Amino acid sequence: MYSYQFDLPYGGINLPEGRQIGIMAQELEQLLPNLVKGKILLSYDTTVKESLQIKAVNYTGLIPVTIQAIKELNSKFTEVERMEVELSTLQQKYDELYIMFNQLCTEGCAGVTKNSLPSESRLYQNVPNPYLNTTKISYVLSSNTKDSYLNISNLEGNIIKRYSLLKGSTSIDIDTTEFGSGSYSYSLYVDGRLRDTKKMVKIR
């Protein structure tokens, strides 16, 4: 996108005054040649016969192309979010199996060091997301955790709710009935340090 101002002594076309914002016709022509047309401008000076060939962009025709591009981007963004949720779910299932395996190996297993919880704390994507009024957030807190909590913040970064967390692999149900629709973030703090932050979306 470029900013420009017309300053040409040519007639035959109504050029708007002041600074304009637009796109380069030559660049658009490489992608959508049907939206770029050539035009010849004639000089106002009748004593000197001059002409200038320009390229003009059909901005009206560009509108449906732009709308379709936005739709495709939104679709890809939704797909990325879905994959992130699936990845988070798989990681959660792995941690649960890890814990179950260690619980079964109460006497220790060959080649495996017994440990009741993963060494690192983890925060998972809320389910469902987007959601209406309630959603579930799962997490894992390592066995040596002393203090932990979950902050929910709005887009401005203001903390609007805090939850104290229990040690282990578990989840909490979040009730945001009093929240307005929109995007929020939730952050896991362990022993005073930020461990992870994820986004969630509430719909009407």
CATH of domain 75-202: 2.60.40.1930
- The pLDDT, as a whole number, for residue 46 is 52
Domain boundaries, the chain: 2-57, 75-202
Check whether the bond before 16 is cis (ω within 30° of 0): no
pLDDT in tens, the chain (204 residues): 666 566 655 555 566 677 777 888 888 888 888 888 876 665 555 555 566 677 888 888 888 888 888 888 777 777 777 787 777 777 777 766 766 665 565 555 555 444 444 557 889 888 888 888 899 998 988 878 889 999 999 988 899 999 999 888 788 999 988 889 999 999 999 998 999 999 999 987
How far apart are alpha carbons 165 and 171 in whole angstroms? 9
- The pLDDT, as a whole number, for residue 114 is 46
